[in-house]
Every structure is written in C-alpha cells, then in structure tokens.
Amino acid sequence: MNRGNSTFTRSEPLSGDDTITIFFEETACEVPAGVTVAAALLGHDDHHFCRSAADQEKRAPHCLMGVCFECLVEIDGVKNRQACLEPVREGMQVKRQHEPVDESK
C-alpha cells in the first residue's frame, strides 16, 4: 500500500520479557522496556503525575501524544518533561511535579 511520503515509523514489538527498572518517587518500579514513562506508570498507585497550575487539582496523562500537558513530571532532576513523549531508560528517576509551572524560568 502506498502511504505517500509519511514519515511515521513503527517500533519493534516488545517481547514481553524485556523489563527495566526506573524509580518513581524513589520507589523502584519494574516496567516494560521500550514504552513511555506515562505508559509505564499509568497503573501506579493513584495515577496522578502533577497538579494543575490553576487549582492544584491532581492531573494525569490524557492525550498520550504531547498535546495536553497533563503528564508533566520531573525526570532526572529536569522539570516540565512530558511523560507521554519520554521513553523509559534504566535507572531513570521520575518524580511528580507538585509545583505549578513557573514560566518565568
């Protein structure tokens, strides 16, 4: 089938046996290799990743494609990372982002 000049690519399927360890709120989590941080952690405790800047309500991934910004987390000390776009890496330190986004920084 001709799909024109699309640049969309497909990653290799997971074997189901490949797991890595990441740390979420300093707790080790065994997660599938090759998935995003959001996909890896959606089943974790109460599902919230950050709080809204407006009313501090708990927020969790919604679109899973980089549009809504409901999945902001701190990864390896860097804030405002979109968990739905970031692939998991061995030893990665992920923390909830509790503070509102400060756009002046």
Q: How far is the CB of 71 from ligand FES (least distance, A)?
A: 3
Q: Which two tokens stand for residue 17?
A: 């046996």
Q: How far is the CB of 65 from ligand FES (least distance, A)?
A: 6
Q: Is 39 in the site for ligand FES (CB under 6 A)?
A: no
Q: Does 97 bind ligand FES (CB under 6 A)?
A: no
Cα–Cα distance measured from residue 52 to residue 70, given in angstroms and rounded to the nearest whole number = 8
Q: Name the phi and psi angles at 66, rounded to 5.
A: 80, 20
The pair of three-digit structure tokens given for residue 65, joined into one six-digit string: 């494609």
Q: Which residues bind ligand FES (CB under 6 A)?
A: 38, 61-64, 66-71, 82, 84
